[in-house]
């Protein structure tokens, strides 16, 4: 009986610690749940740290269309699947993109060419876009309805002094073709990034 009470107290303490930790470190707790429990996130914290330490070798030029079907030296990505002819699919509920801007004295517009993985069996994809930790865009892709504009404005005051742009895409509604009965592909597809063009607003 005593051992049972000790085990019960230890279990309650463990649950209390877990709940308290998740309240104080919500993003970390969410990562562990997504990565280890639900298999919804395709990269680990260790892989994310390595991603952040990978140098970007080229500055992104204005008015140049960069395609995502090859490994561009100026674009750093994680949370995406393999490069394909048309572009690069997100894999899981979180993807990240980083690049270096050219020096600018005005606001900057990011023109994304994107195809969502929506169809009769997967009718909705919702995406929130963050610059660092601040939400800057929201895209709702709904099967059979008009596509939202995938243009993002970066205000001059929001652009970091080091000109390093870190974007995070948080995706709901991603799904695997295998689960939907469309083949053997087990990747959890959300958005296909085809290209990006960066322009100064003025």
pLDDT in tens, 17-47: 444 645 555 667 777 777 877 688 889 989 9
Phi-psi region of 92 (alpha: psi -120 to 50; beta: other; left: phi over 0): left
The segments of the chain whose pLDDT lies below 50 read: 15-19, 21
> CA separation (Å) from 184 to 81, 93, 173?
15, 20, 19
Per-residue pLDDT, 22: 53
Please enumerate, as own/partner, the contacts of 40-43 that have beta carbons within 8 Å and a separation of 24 or more.
Answer: 40/92, 40/93, 40/188, 41/79, 41/92, 41/93, 41/94, 42/79, 42/91, 42/92, 42/94, 42/188, 43/78, 43/79, 43/92, 43/94
Per-residue pLDDT, 129: 98
Encode burial over 27-63: b for 16+ CB neighbours within 10 A, e otherwise.
eeeebeebbeeeebbbbeeeebeeeeeeebeeebeee
Average pLDDT of every residue of the chain: 88
* Residue corresponding to tokens 């929506």: 118
Per-residue pLDDT, 31: 74
pTM: 0.86
Tell me the two tokens of residue 112: 């994304």
Per-residue pLDDT, 15: 44
């Amino acid at each position: 009986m005593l051992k049972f009470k000790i085990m019960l107290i230890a279990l309650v303490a463990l649950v209390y610690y877990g709940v308290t930790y998740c309240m104080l470190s919500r993003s970390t707790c969410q990562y562990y749940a997504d990565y280890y429990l639900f298999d919804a996130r395709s990269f680990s914290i260790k892989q994310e740290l390595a991603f952040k330490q990978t140098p970007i070798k080229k500055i992104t030029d204005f008015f140049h269309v960069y395609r995502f079907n090859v490994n561009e030296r100026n674009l750093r990505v994680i949370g995406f699947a393999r490069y394909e002819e048309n572009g690069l699919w997100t894999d899981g509920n979180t993807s990240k993109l980083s690049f270096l801007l050219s020096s600018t004295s005005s606001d900057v517009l990011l023109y994304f060419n994107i195809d969502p993985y929506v169809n009769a069996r997967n009718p909705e994809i919702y995406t929130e876009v963050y610059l660092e930790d601040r939400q800057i865009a929201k895209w709702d892709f709904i099967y059979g309805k008009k596509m939202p504009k995938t243009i993002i404005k970066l205000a001059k005051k929001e652009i970091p002094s080091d000109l390093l742009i870190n974007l995070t895409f948080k995706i709901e509604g991603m799904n695997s073709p295998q689960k939907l009965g469309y083949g053997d592909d087990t990747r959890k597809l959300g958005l296909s990034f085809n290209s990006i063009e960066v322009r100064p607003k003025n």
